[in-house]
Amino acid sequence: MNDAIRFPKTVYLLRHAHAAWARPGLRDFDRPLDQRGEADASVIASVIRERGIAPELVLCSSAVRCNQTCDIISSALPPDTDIRLLESLYSNDYHHYIKQIADSRAQSVMIIGHNPMIEDTAIALAFTADEKAARRLQKGFPTAGLAIFETNRSEANAENGGRLSELLSPKKASKLTNH
């Protein structure tokens, strides 16, 4: 089998944390995290650290709020984690997100991105789901939410090829961690 098209075994989808509202003269791309967003990203980072979540590759939108979320999350990742900033994750649709995951050649990939793309990607990947995780996803993908997928697909076209094992919101994560 060609390793170049092997879909990762584990996919983590992380929506950027809560951002400040747009201000006059501030492009959407440049919106920073607000205080709540920084706190929520820290909670998710604590869960990542406590569970030993260590994606081989992190693909992050280069928008300011995603980059700041990534900076907070990266403190919980191994220091040699390959982190790549991609402007294309800011404006492309979920097909692009899935292509980036499939083309990564990594065994585990995390994408830090935006809605509606993150939510659409989660829906596209989910063939089966933990019942509680599926109910949470139906309610929407929260800011700083982390979806964890286990896949067994080998094709680059991986839609409907994963099992959503968990969808953590910062609120739920804070109950699971000592943060």
Return the CATH number at 73: 3.40.50.1240
Give the up-direction half-sphere exposure of residue 158: CA atoms within 13 A in the CB hemisphere: 31
Domain residues for the domain of 134 are 3-176
Please give the tally of structural domains in the chain.
1
Residue 30, amino acid: D
CA distance 59 to 109: 7
pLDDT in tens, 40-87: 999 999 999 999 999 999 999 999 999 999 999 999 999 999 999 999
Tens digits of residue pLDDT in 7-27: 678 999 999 999 999 888 889
Pairing of strands 126-129, 146-151: unpaired
pLDDT band for position 161 (cuts 50, 70, 90): low
pLDDT in tens, 92-138: 999 999 999 989 889 999 999 999 999 999 988 886 566 777 777 88
> Can you read off the two tokens belonging to residue 71?
């900076």
* Separation between Cα atoms, residue 38 and residue 35, nearest integer Å: 5
Spatial contact of 37 and 19, defined as CB atoms under 8 Å apart: yes
